[in-house]
Amino acid sequence: MTQQRIYMDWNATAPLLSAAREACLSALDMAGNPSSVHGEGRKIRTLIENARRDVAALCGAQSANVTFTSGATEAANWVLTPDFRMGKTPLTIGHLYISAVEHPAVREGGRFAKDAVSEIAVTPAGTVDLAALERALGSHNRNTGLPMVAVMLANNETGIIQPVAEVSALVKAVGGVFVVDAVQAAGRLPLRIEELGADSLIISSHKIGGPKGIGALVSRGEIMMPAALIRGGGQEKGHRSGTENPAAIAGFGVAARFALHDLENRMVAISSLRDRLEAAMLAASPDVIIHGRDGARIGNTCFFTLPDLKSETGQIAFDLEGVALSAGSACSSGKVGQSYVLSAMGHDPRHGALRISIGPSTTDAEIDRCAEVFAKIAARRRFSGAAA
């Protein structure tokens, strides 16, 4: 009998929730443009605003401050810009500071010139070096404009949680703008935009069980906003023109509602499964390196290195055994390369690493099967090394 495949790549994308799928299909059957004033238009506008309310609730924000985009990458490209507005008054951002472990969507620097982007080192524990950030902000040339800092709340590869409250304090001390990439944290950590001290949060639908191709920029208020990236008919209060995608937005709203419901208990259960898997991995191969294990991580992620096993070889081996996992970020056109996150943490990236990420529907049996496959691959690696 064919072994049923096991999906353990939730950080790449979460399986679509059945309720989100139904919401998408229902919206596709609705006629009307959400900008139209007739009954059909008003009905689909209501659907969009209800979803906006649910996304705002997930982030502890006001629904008026949620702007829908085509995804987190677009949100990053929109908000990472030197061109802001304070009401109707232009506001210039002079320099962007990012951590060395940011997602590629942030590492590209948005609309900043390359020489207006600085990378801040991280500690061996994978968290942003606060002293280095403080020095960089202290030497910022305010004649060029305000500083902007962009830091992720939870790393997409390691799951390591960044000290965003401390970062925010440093940014606010110099009057800067603080952007938090909350893509991997949404649905796994409580999000309260005010408590995080963020001016903007970036989130994505498909990481929480919604459809792909929809995300949002969630802002603390409506006064200070980035200049529009997409101009046209003035939808989304002029921040993001183009007719909204009601089907994707409806699915996003449902996924946000599910992600917020019983979040704490759900993550306790998921963390327990992850910890049990890691204990089995260490028992099977004591030399396995679990990155970030001694620090604060989101409870669904295990990023590990098996010495002498290349990441691409390991990924294929797991796949052949029916286990879907990844070799770090899945947002690089299917490439399997050396991890810049490991490099930033001081590890030799040539050793490679694999990422297991689980979710609410992961079962005990799947954890046991994954542990068995890991043990098999680890033993095969040792045997091959001895034969060589």
314 phi and psi angles, rounded to 5 deg: -65, -40
**207-221: average pLDDT:** 97
Strands 200-204 and 6-7: unpaired
Residues 308 and 249 in one domain: no
Residues 249 and 273 in one domain: no
- For CA atoms 71, 76, 81, 87, give the dihedral sign: positive
Residues 303 and 315 in one domain: yes
Q: Is residue 25 part of a domain?
A: yes
220-231 confidence digits (pLDDT tens): 998 899 999 999
Residues 211 and 305 in one domain: no
Domain boundary among 211, 242, 260: 260
Q: Is residue 208 part of a domain?
A: yes
Tell me which residue has tokens 């085509």.
70
Residues 326 and 231 in one domain: no
Domain boundary among 243, 260, 277: 260
Percent of the chain with pLDDT over 90: 89
Residues 172 and 313 in one domain: no
* Distance separating alpha carbons of residues 261 and 249, to the nearest angstrom: 19
Give residue 315's domain range: 6-15+263-387
Q: What is the CATH number of the domain that holds 102?
A: 3.40.640.10
The total of structural domains in the chain comes to 2
Q: In this structure, how many other beta carbons lie within 10 angstroms of the beta carbon of residue 338?
A: 16
Report the pLDDT value the prediction gives residue 382, as an integer from 0 to 100: 65
SS3 53: helix
Report the pLDDT value the prediction gives residue 364, as an integer from 0 to 100: 98
C-beta of residue 290 within 8 angstroms of C-beta of residue 281: yes
Which residues have a catalytic role annotated? Answer: 331
Q: Is residue 113 part of a domain?
A: yes
**351-359: average pLDDT:** 93
**Rg (Cα) of the chain, in Å, rounded?**
22
263-312 confidence digits (pLDDT tens): 999 999 999 999 999 999 999 999 999 999 999 999 999 999 999 888 99
179 phi and psi angles, rounded to 5 deg: -115, 130
Residues 163 and 87 in one domain: yes
C-beta of residue 288 within 8 angstroms of C-beta of residue 303: no
Residues 241 and 291 in one domain: no
* Distance separating alpha carbons of residues 300 and 11, to the nearest angstrom: 9
Report the pLDDT value the prediction gives residue 85, as an integer from 0 to 100: 93
Residues 178 and 283 in one domain: no
Domain boundary among 228, 260, 292: 260
Q: What is the CATH number of the domain that holds 342?
A: 3.90.1150.10
Residues 275 and 189 in one domain: no
Is the pTM for the entire model greater than 0.85?
yes
Report the pLDDT value the prediction gives residue 329, as an integer from 0 to 100: 52
Residues 242 and 313 in one domain: no
Q: Is residue 1 part of a domain?
A: no
Q: Is residue 102 part of a domain?
A: yes
CA angle 337, 310, 326 (to 5 degrees): 60
pLDDT band at 348 (very low <50, low <70, confident <90, very high): confident
C-beta of residue 241 within 8 angstroms of C-beta of residue 227: no
